[in-house]
Amino acid sequence: MYRKQVRRRRAVLVLLVVVSLVLLSTHFSEGSGGPLHGVQRVVATVLGPLEEGADRALKPVRDMFDWFGETFDARGENEELRDEVADLRERVAKAESAVGENKELRDLVQLGPAGGSQGREAVAARVIGRSPTVWYSTVTIDRGSSSGVDVNDPVITGDGLAGRITDTTSGTAEVTLITDHRSAVSAEVLPNGPSGVIKPEVGDPGELLLDFIEEDTEVDEGQMVVTSGWRAGHLTSLFPAGLEIGKVTEATVDEQETYQRVHVRPFVDLREMEIVQVLTEPGGADGQSRAATGDTG
């Protein structure tokens, strides 16, 4: 019984194929006014409105699928664009960082051996840590006692004085910056100006004060301030003479005081510096013996 049904279906399929071939051959061989063309026109006339209605009815569904497809495509493109932007941002950051470090290195090279301070050796170091306070009072560098760095060694950048070493380990050291409230540096105004002591401005970590300048001493805006490098008998300043500190921005006199308030803007951007030099003494002199011979910090 099953085999008879299979044979019938095959026979029907063969018959339909033959009839289709005959109709196609007749359709292409007859003229445009033939009976098959007429039947085609009648069918098209009858089914045309139905097809148009179905197309209109299904258009919202097609639009919805198209919207989903376009949305997913757009999301994929947005993710790719975000990845590209992130990659470009990282490249720009690395490039700008490299440019900044190159500038700092060029500035240090222009200083000459040991920053121009005779009798001292320069040890280059990178800043690897910063004080979390708004005062930016200390930084940590990646050179320590194993590199000849001692307590009280001056620290400079290509722009000028940054601070001094206040603590060391074998591989790192802590630098107390000149803006720290414990810092004090003997300094003088150029050219041939008065001498005083550089201290941080209370409430403004980016400003310094040159104290102990007599009220009748003329100090002008724009004059440079450098370390004085004083010497008194066996006592010497921790900082060699001539290290640039900053420039005078304002000098005011308080009627109730005998000294001027000389405001100094430091040359070194202490918040952004990355490369520094430590001015060490040949042979690694003991830090404690030098701690009592110069400026405090």
Higher pLDDT, 284 or 175: 175
Angstrom CA distances, 262 to 122, 160, 179, 184, 188, stand at 31, 19, 15, 15, 11
Contact at 8 Å (CB) between 178 and 185?
Answer: yes
What burial class does residue 123 get, using C-beta atoms within 10 Å of its C-beta: 0-12 exposed, 13-18 middle, 19+ buried?
Answer: buried
Confidence of residue 293 (pLDDT cuts 50, 70, 90): very low
Domain segments of the chain: what residues? 34-111, 120-291
Structure confidence at residue 279 as a pLDDT band (50, 70, 90): very high
Residue 165 CB contacts under 8 Å (≥ 6 apart), including other chains: 149, 150, 151, 152, 153, 155, 173, 174, 175, 176, 278, 287
Cα distance between residue 254 and residue 261, in whole Å: 8
Note the pTM of the prediction, 2 decimals.
0.59
Split at pLDDT 50, 70, 90, the class of 9 is confident
pLDDT tens digits, one per residue of 59-113: 676 667 677 677 767 776 777 777 777 766 666 655 555 554 555 555 555 555 4
Instruction: Provide the pLDDT confidence category of residue 58 given band limits of 50, 70 and 90.
Output: low
Tokens 């664009």, located at residue: 81
Residue count of the chain: 297
pLDDT above 80: residue 261: yes
Q: How far apart are CA 74 and CA 63, in angstroms?
A: 16
Measured N-to-C along each axis, helices 2-29 and 35-111 cross at an angle, to the nearest 10 degrees, of 90
pLDDT at position 201: 83
pLDDT (tens digit per residue) in 139-156: 999 999 999 999 999 999
In the block, tokens 């060391």 appear at: 168
Three-state secondary-structure class, residue 225: strand
Res 116: pLDDT: 47
| Residue 50 amino acid letter | L
What is the assigned CATH class of domain 120-291? mainly beta
Say how far apart CA 103 and CA 97 lie, in whole Å. 10
Q: Report the pLDDT value the prediction gives residue 11, as an integer from 0 to 100.
A: 74
pLDDT at res. 101: 52
- Span 165-221, pLDDT tens digits: 999 999 999 999 999 888 889 999 998 888 999 998 876 767 899 988 888 888 999
**What per-residue confidence (pLDDT) applies to 291?**
40
The DSSP call for residue 113 is G
Number of neighbouring beta carbons within 10 Å of residue 84: 10
Residue 118 pLDDT exceeds 60 = no
User: Which of the residue ranges 193-207, 214-228, 249-263, 275-289 would you say has the lowest mean pLDDT?
Assistant: 275-289
Q: Are 246 and 267 in contact (CB under 8 A)?
A: yes
- Count of C-beta atoms within a 10 Å radius of residue 126: 14
Q: Which two three-digit tokens encode residue 126?
A: 């990178």
CB 209, CB 198: distance < 8 Å: yes
